Amino acid sequence: MIGRYTLPEMGEIWEENSKFRYWLEVELAVCRAMAESGLIPKKSLRNILKKANFDIKRINEIEAITNHDVIAFLSSVAEYVGPDSKYIHYGMTSSDMLDTALSLQMKKAAKIIDKKIAEALGKIKQLALKYKMTPIIGRTHGVIAEPTTLGLKFAVWFTELERGRERFKQAAEMAAVGAISGAVGNFANIDPKIEVKVCQILGLGVDKVSTQVIQRDRHAAYITSLALLASSMEKFATEIRNLQRTEIGELSEGFAEGQKGSSAMPHKRNPITAERLTGLARLLRGYSISAMENIPLWHERDIAHSSVERVIIPDSAIAVDYGLKIFNDILERLVVDEKRMLENIYRNGGIVFSQRVLLKLTEAIGNRDKAYNIVQRNAMKAYEGMKGFHELVKGDKEVAAYIEANEIDNCFDLEYYLKNVGKIFKRVFGK
């Protein structure tokens, strides 16, 4: 991932030096497990633990000759350890170390991501409770529909992000397994109890059965759950982008002092951060497809997945980590224009209250089609700007023949649309 979108804590997990540190951590865990089983002399283990190290420049030099990164790494480590290096990687295959180390990286990345999800959930909950009863127009097909509350919008975000968090937690747990099972996964050259001990040392689960590699459905679930998280954030960002439209103006990103919106138009205040979330989500969805295509490897393995994963796993974790960071920033600085919300509810003379008038008129007339035609006729006139909807309905003789003026006024009461909001919040937040 480019530096622009890489935050330090997450980026450190995937940098080259860290990668080799994780590789070494796995190799040393295997040595410890073997020493406990009497397969490596205790003295040799102490020497290995004391001296084991690597040199990235030297690894690159060796790889230029061997064209094999794991062999290059092990050769560099051997130069530090000396003769006892014969016990390192004993009975293992490259993927034992690579996949188990990757699991460690993914597990650590998941903890960082989960922390930021929790932060976002906390901020969304605060917004939901703050604006629990704040009226805003609901829209369907992009067109004004009926009043709802801003708090309910945030409650929807909260529950969706909760699901995304749980989905990712499950996928991360599924991916946090190790495999030390040998060349085709049948433990021909290494005892299964070594694998169990290694996973205990590393804090990983044990892959019940593997081939030469841990099966890639685990990794696909991890990446796909990140893509779903990004897609949810895009959904929230798209709502902000739409409500920031000049013609709507109900929500907007905070605009910092000294910030510029356009090189040409000084008046511009653009939702650039929300748009960035949209772009990142597009990237993640593409990565999820690549992750799923890594599942069908040939026989006990091929390495078609390897080149893909070098890009998509670090990039997915880094992109979601960054996306959550800027999403939290948006939530922190979100601008809410309650006055504009009310103005939009009552535009065209409160045309959004048409269903209330329809229900009242249907009850009085006893014929829904007739009532619908009367209400729609007045609504279309209001759209055309002849008069406001409220005024038109009150002035309609056909309506007046069935409904008293005060009953018509009651149809335009916002409180009607808020009466059950508290019950929904009790479901979501318990209060």
CA 47 to chain centre: 44
Look-up of token digits 């994780």: 22
Contacts 24+ apart (CB under 8 A), 377-380: 379/351, 379/354
Task: Say if strands 135-140 and 251-252 run parallel, antiparallel, or are unpaired.
Answer: unpaired
Task: Say if strands 335-336 and 251-252 run parallel, antiparallel, or are unpaired.
Answer: antiparallel
Question: Is 141 designated active site?
Answer: yes
Nearest to 96 by CA among 117, 74, 64: 74
Q: How many CA atoms within 13 Å lie on the side-chain side of 30? A: 28
What CA–CA distances, in Å, run from 84 to 89, 98, 195? 11, 22, 21
Q: Is the dihedral of CA 72, 8, 239, 269 positive or negative?
A: negative
18, 85, 232, 262: the catalytic one is: 262
Question: Is 232 designated active site?
Answer: no
76, 141, 210, 267: the catalytic one is: 141
Task: State residue 404 phi and psi, 5-degree precision.
Answer: -70, 155
| 147 close to 137: Cβ distance less than 8 angstroms | yes
Cite the active site residues: 141, 262
